[in-house]
Structure 1
Amino acid sequence: MAQRHLDPTAGPVPADALAGYLRAQATEFLRALRLHRETGAGAAASEGSVEAARALRRAARRVSGSLHTFQPVLDPDWSEAMRPELAWVSGTLALEHAHASRLQQLLLALHRLSGAAPFPPQGPAAGTTARTAAPPLPRDRPAPAGSAPATVPAGATGTAPGRTGTAPCDTPAPADGTPGTTDTAGRATTGRTTPARATPVTAGAAAVRTGTMTDAPGRGSTATAAAGTRGSALAVAAGGAVPAPDRGNLTVGAAKAGALLDRQLTLARTRAHSTALQALGSSRFHAVADKVAVLASEVPLSPAAAGADLRPLADAARDRLTDAVAALPLLTAGSPYNAEALIHGLSPDPAPHPQDAPWHQVRLLLRLHRYALEVVHAGRHPGSLLDAGEALDRHRDAAEAAAAAAQAARTPRIAPATAYALGVLHADQRHEVEAARYAFQRCWQKEVIGTL
């Protein structure tokens, strides 16, 4: 049986509390809309316009959720026509932020999984210490008979400044017929053609951000990270803190996976931004804004609102949430060996994970419950609900990030190293999903104990 959060000894909550809440949220919507128009939202949206869009989404969600929970005391025709329009506004404005945060989450995970470490001190200022602290460089490939072997200066890494080519690696790449190789000194090799070798350090941060790295099979990256190497060495030699490693320190597969995700999600974000701008200038949005302006001054209540109590409606919202949480597999949530989460893991179906849908539904019901408590408690609700909501937000973000990694891995003609990096990234995000489920379980137990 569901536990009641509202105090049964408290008095009834009249419909005027709902009317005041809706007027306040409508005023916030109009204020955010004016701020969004003043700050501008062109091709490069400013920080103020981003914050205004977030406030628009927040107000639209609260109004729409309140119309859903307290529909019996509102005009039915008006509420049924208003709720989907507000959901459209909130969903359209949320797409751009979702793509941006998803890209950031995936790139940070790639950095963490690649195990990038700061460079050792190098250069004349480091002296002998730099040579002893730096790891030994791999030897160059054997030179043809009768020719002098190429040498590598002590303390050098990557490639020579201003020259193309790749740093040597102990493990040669599969022979794929790639013509034309260069040695570490930047000179073309003579005699027989030597198979291309894989590079331990790939394209720099600029190449990854712009998506200029090629990812076709049989091709190696020609960009280098020499500039980032020298910058880190100078920072260490000067006694300063070592900067965080950039994308140029990633392995071959991780760097190409990052470039692929950057291209796909940046394109999706650009399209979402254009869609949001078109939506804000459409006649449909202007009609919604006009209705919200009317709501800020007059709330269309139903005849049944006179003498009605909002507490049973808020309790019904909590009962729906409690029933949905009871159907979740909380005993296996957060387990690192959740076998049920691996079912259909290798299926070619691009649909979302089948186990995620109930959790996403709980997230929506928890939000409706929070909004209902804000109405009946004048904007206040327990802090444990906020923690539980944050855990479900992390669950949603990790699930969508894993789906984005899986979608990128389905890109045709990507290198095996790229596909492997995306597979590791997908598994890491699914692990984050399990961790978020476990965090929600702990928060929900605190919430239930607090209602006893």
Structure 2
Amino acid sequence: MAQQHHDLTDSAAGPAAPPVTGEALAGYLRGQATEFLRALRLHRETGGGPSGSGGGTADAVDAARALRRSARRISASLHTFRPLLDPGWSEEIRPELAWLSGTLALEHACESRLDRLLLALHRLSGATTVPTQTGSNTGTSAGTAVSATAATTAATTATTTTTTQRTAPRPTPDRGNLTVGAAKAGALLDRQLTLARTRAHSTALQALGSSRFHAVADKVAVLASEVPLAPHAATTDPRPLAAAAEERLTDAVAALPLVTAGHPYNAEALIHGLSPDPAPHPQDAPWHQVRLLLRLHRYALEVLHGDDAPLGVRLLSAGQALDRHRDASEAAAAAAHAARTPRIAPATAYALGVLHADQRHEVEAARYAFQRSWQKQTIGTGTGTS
């Protein structure tokens, strides 16, 4: 296994190994551009109906996902290997691809977030059915104004026993009060996130019909046949640039509080997570950055090795843990946002507070899983480390 790893990272390992140059990047970009155009054609043929609704088909959802996938990979490759490309062209198209990928991801993110929160409510309340929109009011109560602080207090009360035990993975809510508020909390989340998903779908359709998108598609169409490489790219080895991307990832991971993440429960993080401040959780940003850098590292390996990219269990499990971290973090923020809805009933606020605390526990569990997978040294995982 050690020799195989050497072959993947050293072009001098044997006479059969061809030299790696900028042509590897050109071939990868042409392939991703072709996938982009194929997905765009399929998306137009299927009408691009909204995912998760009666107007959308599985083909339309798959096409949108393939568009995001190709746009992400092209944009990431332009970033990692930008010294090998025409700088003016690269800097012009890269932010446009990032805009497109982000716009297309919003609808799916809203749908996934709603599913996650409703399932968590179901689990926490012990209800026999998953909370859904009931068609009645969404938990408003005339004459009752419950602020985010009230929801925070409810969640803090619910988790008092667990904050004294670092190994406790979940809060212990009052089942009776939680069951009363879970249905209305689920209906409120359903209304808010369904509305957000509908808006995201409309935004995506407008984006795909805009002149801005057509300009991006035209550039990608040209990229499918001609990659604007820099003059020296044909004789330049791209592996040092890929190694630099891996080094940035390693440095970012080293800056994470992995000692704290080595415990399955971080009470300090929960205390900060229950703050009524609507700003994004300050502890999450470095982890989101590591997730981005891990993705750049993976895509760089794809450029060098194509379909044989050495993505070992260590990389895959670390990436899955960071995906869970992102999902739980955003779900907790959605629960906190719902708890700030004016004039909701106390039971609804309590359920949302417990739900928020539960998702912050999920954040800590994901950090723990990442720490366990990343620090596990496995020979021959093929992470690209030399």
**TM-score bracket for this pair, using the shorter chain length:** 0.7 to 0.9
Question: Does the 8 Å CA contact 1:210/1:263 hold for their aligned counterparts?
Answer: no
**In structure 1, how many angstroms separate the alpha carbons of the residues matched to 2:97 and 2:46?**
22
Question: Does the 8 Å CA contact 1:334/1:434 hold for their aligned counterparts?
Answer: no
Change over 3 Å in CA distance of 1:337–1:308 after alignment to 2: same
Structure 1 unaligned segments of length 5 or more: list them: 119-203, 220-249
1:271 aligned partner: 199
Question: Does the 8 Å CA contact 1:334/1:435 hold for their aligned counterparts?
Answer: no
Change over 3 Å in CA distance of 1:4–1:399 after alignment to 2: farther
**In structure 1, how many angstroms separate the alpha carbons of the residues matched to 2:283 and 2:114?**
23
Question: Does the 8 Å CA contact 2:138/2:187 hold for their aligned counterparts?
Answer: no
SS at match of 1:291: helix
Match of 2:344 among 405, 414, 429: 414
2:284 aligned partner: 356
2:179 aligned partner: 251
**In structure 2, how many angstroms separate the alpha carbons of the residues matched to 1:5 and 1:254?**
56
Q: Cα distance, 1:391 vs. partner?
A: 1.1
Question: Does the 8 Å CA contact 2:39/2:64 hold for their aligned counterparts?
Answer: yes
Change over 3 Å in CA distance of 1:283–1:218 after alignment to 2: closer
Identity %: 78
The TM-score, its normalising length taken from structure 1, stands at 0.70
Q: Determine which structure has more spread, i.e. the larger CA radius of gyration.
A: 1
**In structure 1, how many angstroms separate the alpha carbons of the residues matched to 2:290 and 2:135?**
38
1:225-259, Cα deviation, whole Å (9 max, x unpaired): xxxxxxxxxxxxxxxxxxxxxxxxx8220001000
Letter in 2 for 1:344: H
The TM-score, its normalising length taken from structure 2, stands at 0.81
SS at match of 2:273: coil
Match of 1:212 among 124, 136, 146: 136
1:105-116 map, 5 Å: 105-116=116-127
Alignment pair present for 1:289 and 2:217: yes
1:51-130 map, 5 Å: 51-117=62-128
Alignment pair present for 1:435 and 2:359: no
Question: Does the 8 Å CA contact 2:49/2:56 hold for their aligned counterparts?
Answer: yes
Match of 2:355 among 425, 435, 443: 425
Question: Does the 8 Å CA contact 2:20/2:238 hold for their aligned counterparts?
Answer: yes
Alignment pair present for 1:33 and 2:44: no
Q: Which one has the bigger helix percentage?
A: 2
Change over 3 Å in CA distance of 1:310–1:318 after alignment to 2: same
Alignment pair present for 1:444 and 2:368: no
**In structure 2, how many angstroms separate the alpha carbons of the residues matched to 1:445 and 1:88?**
34
Aligned residue-pair number: 334
Q: Cα distance, 1:216 vs. partner?
A: 2.6
Alignment pair present for 1:50 and 2:61: yes
Structure 2 unaligned segments of length 5 or more: list them: 144-177
**In structure 2, how many angstroms separate the alpha carbons of the residues matched to 1:396 and 1:442?**
17
Change over 3 Å in CA distance of 1:23–1:99 after alignment to 2: same
1:341 aligned partner: 269
Q: Cα distance, 1:447 vs. partner?
A: 5.6
Q: Between 37-46 and 96-105, report the one with greater CA deviation.
A: 37-46
Please tell me the root mean square deviation across aligned C-alpha atoms, in Å.
2.3
Change over 3 Å in CA distance of 1:260–1:372 after alignment to 2: same
1:184 aligned partner: none
SS at match of 1:331: helix
Question: Does the 8 Å CA contact 1:211/1:263 hold for their aligned counterparts?
Answer: no
Q: Between 5-14 and 79-88, report the one with greater CA deviation.
A: 5-14
1:153-232 map, 5 Å: 208-217=132-141
Question: Does the 8 Å CA contact 2:321/2:366 hold for their aligned counterparts?
Answer: yes
**In structure 1, how many angstroms separate the alpha carbons of the residues matched to 2:186 and 2:20?**
53
